[in-house]
Structure formats: structure tokens, C-alpha cells
Amino acid sequence: MTRNRYETVFIITPVLSDEQTKDVIKKYKDLLKDKGAKITHEENWGMRKLAYPIQKKSTGFYYLMEFEADASVILPFETEFRRDERVIRFLTTRMDKFHVEYAEGRRDRETDRREKPKQAATGTETKA
């Protein structure tokens, strides 16, 4: 079987404590690792306002995971999301080569943006 690259964004209910939120995230990371997937990138987007109320909630904790896995991993992974009441919504997409390239470029730009203020504060900025 060939390994595909996937991206999953899921929204966790806002009524959970920080510890409970971390437990939910750890559960899904462990589930992927147990199925033989390799997590390539993670981002915690934090608490955000929802575009429309879902289950009478207007905010939620957003979390993004990129991973490499066999296609057979996705169905049990998504079934677990559906069974978990703590997860409001989720979306899993298979990343094609253009999606992977865009995601890596976006991460590089974010890294550059974070490093510039540090360099300016220390005076080590290089001028081209």
C-alpha cells in the first residue's frame, strides 16, 4: 500500500479544561501512531469563534495535524471522531503535491515572521 499525506482539522468543545483538551489531542495522536501513521506537523490554533453555532456553542478549540498514513487508517480515525462527544467538527483531506508545497511554504513564512522581531530586538538582522 502507498502512504498518502493527510491533513485533519478538528474542533474541540470549549467547555473542557486545558488538561482535558490536551488529553483529547493526545488520544488522536496516539491513535494515529498505533495505526502506523507518521505525524509530520501539528498546529494548535487555540480558541476561535465559529462561523455559526454548532451544538449551541459559538467557540471551539481548533487543532490541525498533518500525517502520512495508509488509506485504511482514515476510516477508523474518522469513526473515532464521530463517537467522541468532545469533538464538535472535523475534516480530513488528502494532500496532493501542490497542497503539501503550499503548507510547507506557509510554515516557512510563519517561521520567518516569528524570527524577524527577535532579530530586530537583538540587532542581528542581516541586510541584503
Please give the full DSSP string across 43-69, using - where no structure is assigned. EEEEEEEEEEEETTEEEEEEEEEEEEE
Average pLDDT, the chain: 87
More confident residue, 84 or 116: 84
Q: What is the pTM of this model?
A: 0.79
Q: What's the average model confidence in pLDDT over 55-71?
A: 93
At 102, is the pLDDT very low, low, confident or very high (cuts 50, 70, 90)? confident
Q: CB of 36 within 8 A of CB of 70?
A: yes
Name which of 5-19, 32-46, 105-119 the model is least confident about: 105-119
At 110, is the pLDDT very low, low, confident or very high (cuts 50, 70, 90)? confident
pLDDT score recorded for residue 1: 62
Domains and CATH numbers, the chain: 4-118 (3.30.70.60)
